[in-house]
């Protein structure tokens, strides 16, 4: 902060912290953002913390943006299958969840050196459209005003 930055890239800033101090750190960052008129790019896999901090979410899978929208819109109405998977995998500390099975997609993210043809998520996607998703990369489709998703389900 001594250098008075205009932009901070915060890559998983609270992922290694105890849950009890995460909110404090995010509040601190939020305070700095307001008092110093800062832009912050907050990178995380944990969508449960994003709502405290961000105005817009850009969801990335294997190096490609697959969904972008305002935070509340995206969390209320996610469209891309990978965004659904991320939200499903987000932990929710409710004792009732102990016996609940989370239906996350099988497999691993692909190699970025040799990514699959078409949609990069297609080897793991339950909704894959044969001879389309595995051949042609989807463009962005606007599903609501200012809400875009790169998925052939919304063509």
Nearer to ligand SF4, 26 or 129 (CB): 129
The span from the CA of 62 to the CA of 117, in Å, is 12
* Contact map string, positions 57 to 96, toward ligand SF4, x by CB under 6 A: -----------------------xx---------------
Least separation in angstroms between CB 3 and ligand SF4: 41
Among 59, 69, 85, 125, binds ligand SF4 (CB under 6 A): 125
Q: Which helix (H) or strand (E) holds 67?
A: strand 64-70
Nearer to ligand SF4, 22 or 80 (CB): 80
How many Å apart are CA 100 and CA 20, to the nearest integer? 25
- The token pair at 118 is 């078409």
Q: Cα–Cα distance between 111 and 119 in angstroms, integer?
A: 13
Which parts of this chain interact with ligand SF4 (CB under 6 A)?
A: 80-81, 119, 121-122, 125, 127-129, 133, 138, 151-153
């Amino acid at each position: 902060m001594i250098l008075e930055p205009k932009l901070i890239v915060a890559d998983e800033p609270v992922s290694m912290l105890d849950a009890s101090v995460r909110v404090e750190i995010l509040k601190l960052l939020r305070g700095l953002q307001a008092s110093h008129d800062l832009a912050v790019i907050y990178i995380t896999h944990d969508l449960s913390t994003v709502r405290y901090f961000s105005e817009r979410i850009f969801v990335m899978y294997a190096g490609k943006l697959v969904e972008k929208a305002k935070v509340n819109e995206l969390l209320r109405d996610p469209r891309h299958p990978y965004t659904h998977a991320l939200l499903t995998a987000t932990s929710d500390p409710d004792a009732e969840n102990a016996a609940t099975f989370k239906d996350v997609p099988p497999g691993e993210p692909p190699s970025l050196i040799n990514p699959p043809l078409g949609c990069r998520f297609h080897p793991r996607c339950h909704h894959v459209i044969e001879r389309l998703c595995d051949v042609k990369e989807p463009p962005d489709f606007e599903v609501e005003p200012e809400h875009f998703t790169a998925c052939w389900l919304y063509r």
